[in-house]
Amino acid sequence: MIETGIICDPVSNDVEDDWKEIEERLRLFELPIDVVLRGVGMHQIKDRSLDLLVIDYGAMSLGASSTGEWQVRSACEWAENHPGSLLVIWTWFTQRLYERELREQFGHIDNIISYFPNSESLSIKLEKWFAHKVTENENAQI
């Protein structure tokens, strides 16, 4: 199983719907996803090990940009400290924060990918990254 954490913006209209939407999209890739954590901030992750962390922190309200940047920065630091885990930066606004403000500091980290919800490439990236997990899961079912 791929232990997964999903962090979403609490300023959203309905964070529960956001978690559910991301989880449903991840399940479309037919990977053995096990969502073990749904949170509203990186403080809930701390040093927890996960196979996959998805962060969608796209707040557009007053002062939220700096909060979003802090969340994405914390997620990138988490990814640096967990090179065997994959961080997916979800949605355009969150990804833009990473690209513009954080790429300079972190450079290119192999275990961080950006995803736009209508993109086809995430499926390929997830399958490559988790190929060993898929094989383990298939063997466990035999």
Query: What residue type is assigned to position 53 of the chain?
Result: L
Confirm whether 85 is domain-assigned. yes
Q: How confident is the model at residue 54 (pLDDT cuts 50, 70, 90)?
A: very high
Residues 13-36, mean pLDDT to the nearest whole number: 88
The domain in which residue 116 lies consists of: 2-135
Confirm whether 69 is domain-assigned. yes
CATH number of the domain enclosing 21:
3.40.50.2300
C-beta neighbour count of 58 within 10 angstroms: 21
Confirm whether 142 is domain-assigned. no
Confirm whether 108 is domain-assigned. yes
pLDDT the model gives residue 113: 81
Confirm whether 141 is domain-assigned. no
Residues 60-84, mean pLDDT to the nearest whole number: 77
Total domain count for the chain?
Answer: 1
Give Rg (Cα) of the chain: 15
Confirm whether 140 is domain-assigned. no
pLDDT the model gives residue 126: 86
**Average confidence score pLDDT of the chain:** 79
Opening angle at CA 84, ends 117 and 30, nearest 5: 40
Q: What is the pLDDT of residues 84-110, one digit of tens each?
A: 999 998 876 666 666 666 667 777 778
Please tell me the least confidently modeled range out of 3-17, 70-84, 91-105.
Answer: 91-105
pLDDT the model gives residue 89: 84
**DSSP helix/strand/coil, 136:** helix
Q: How confident is the model at residue 67 (pLDDT cuts 50, 70, 90)?
A: confident
CA pseudo-torsion sign 48, 31, 125, 7: negative
